Amino acid sequence: MTKIFVTRDIPDEGLKMLRARTDIELKVYGEDKKIPDGILKRSVKGADIILSLLTEKIDSSVMDAAGKQLKMIANYAVGFDNIDLAAAKERGIVVTNTPGPELSEAVAEHAVALIFTLTHRIVETDTFTRAKKYKGWGPKMFLGTDVHGKTLGIIGGGAIGTALARKMHNGFGVKIVYNDIKRNEALEKEVDATYLEKNDLLKKADFVSIHVPLLPSTKHLIGEAELKIMKNTAYLINTSRGPIVDEKALVVALTRGDIAGAGLDVYECEPLIDCDPTDTYELRKCANAVLTPHTASATIEARQAMSRVAAENILAFLDGKTPPNAVKVS
């Protein structure tokens, strides 16, 4: 009997697939919150497979708490920065993630929503209207900026970056420039995208949207120097991982007007929106920032698809096959 521990209840499609197997014993942490570390380590003891969420840090201590029989960690996320890949490799543990078109489209849609929310000042005007301050139309009231004809700079030309480029170029006539560790010729052909070095992209783009994984090489990829390169009319969008942006530097740039605004779905010290509550770098006080609580992929379709993909990875592994979304560990 294969023992699987799921670190939090997830949408049911994948769980139904696992429960349909008579050779699987499935246990799910029942509370809808991050599982405390002590409970996590007690709960994984004896598990052959851990189905984890991005909120759980699966490091060597958790792997050792599970025991030597642990052979797989199926992460319910596209990113896998919450898992110590070196420790997993050392122990011969397979790690998988859950990419897919549903998630790519959902996150890309959220990035689009953040762009328009910023440029059309949706949050500000909604707050203004609800406060009963609207007394009549005015020609200069809450002037925003057009999106059509502008330039979108995409950092990370993978599946999500490509989905965003397609939507913005085909739907809104936006010019696309991008940067990645290697060129994406398919993206260039599909939306007439131009490859630029990062600093050249930052100089040119009216919107900069981040779509790279969190790695040692991408931490603070956008910091003080990069924010100063951007136009003071430009907007930064981050639906990837919080530590890719130096949050304190961003607050300074937003406060000084070095950039026009930012749309964030992720945060450097998540779930905190302010890494150090004792300092003065308070992102929530920036009126030119739109903040959402890591919900870019929060659609029924995307989250069910992630559940299904996680189960497909597990079932393939149990059947002696290479999981379709095995993470490559160098």
| Residue-by-residue pLDDT tens, the chain, 330 positions | 999 999 999 999 999 999 999 999 999 998 888 999 999 999 999 999 999 999 999 999 999 999 999 999 999 999 899 999 999 999 999 999 999 999 999 999 999 999 999 999 999 999 999 999 999 999 999 999 999 999 999 999 999 999 999 999 999 999 999 999 999 999 999 999 999 999 999 999 999 999 999 999 999 999 999 999 999 999 999 999 999 999 999 999 999 999 999 999 999 999 999 898 888 889 999 999 999 999 999 999 999 999 999 999 999 999 999 999 999 876
Query: 2-97+300-318 and 101-291 share one CATH topology?
Result: yes
Assign 3-class secondary structure to 96-126. Answer: ECCCCHHHHHHHHHHHHHHHHHHHCCHHHHH
Strand order in the sheet with 49-53: 24-28, 2-6, 49-53, 72-76, 94-96
Tell me the DSSP string of 256-320: HTSSSEEEES--TTTT-SSS-TTSS--GGG-TTEEE--S-TT-SHHHHHHHHHHHHHHHHHHHTT
Rounded-to-5 percentages of helix, strand, coil across the chain: 40, 15, 45
Are the C-beta atoms of 53 and 8 separated by less than 8 Å?
A: yes
At a CB cut-off of 8 Å and minimum separation 6, what does 122 contact?
116, 290
Task: Please determine, looking at this structure, whether the domain spanning 2-97+300-318 carries the CATH number 3.40.50.720.
Answer: yes
Predicted confidence at residue 190, as pLDDT, reads: 96
Predicted confidence at residue 325, as pLDDT, reads: 96
The catalytic residue positions are 241, 270, 294
Tokens of 175: 């010019």
The C-alpha angle 21, 24, 30, rounded to 5 degrees, equals: 110
Phi, psi dihedral angles at 209 (to 5 degrees): -120, 130
Query: Residue 138, SS3?
Result: coil
A 10 A CB-CB count for 285 gives: 12
Are the C-beta atoms of 174 and 231 separated by less than 8 Å?
A: no
Give the residue carrying structure tokens 């003071």. 232
Predicted confidence at residue 329, as pLDDT, reads: 76
Give the residue carrying structure tokens 């995307």. 302
Distance of CA 63 to the CA centre of its chain: 25
* Domain boundaries of the chain, sorted by first residue: 2-97+300-318, 101-291
Name which of 256, 167, 249 is nearest 207 in CA terms.
Answer: 167
Q: Which residues pair with 264 in a beta bridge?
A: 238, 291
For the chain, the distance separating the N- and C-terminal CA atoms, rounded to the nearest angstrom, is: 31
Are the C-beta atoms of 51 and 7 separated by less than 8 Å?
A: yes
Predicted confidence at residue 276, as pLDDT, reads: 87
Predicted confidence at residue 281, as pLDDT, reads: 86
Predicted confidence at residue 221, as pLDDT, reads: 98
Architecture of the domain defined by 101-291? 3-Layer(aba) Sandwich (3.40)
Query: Residue 251, SS3?
Result: helix
The b/e string for 125-143 (b: 16+ C-beta within 10 A; e otherwise) is eeeeeeeeeeeeeeeeeee
Name the CA dihedral angle for 104, 34, 210, 181, rounded to a multiple of 10 degrees: -80
At a CB cut-off of 8 Å and minimum separation 6, what does 181 contact?
none
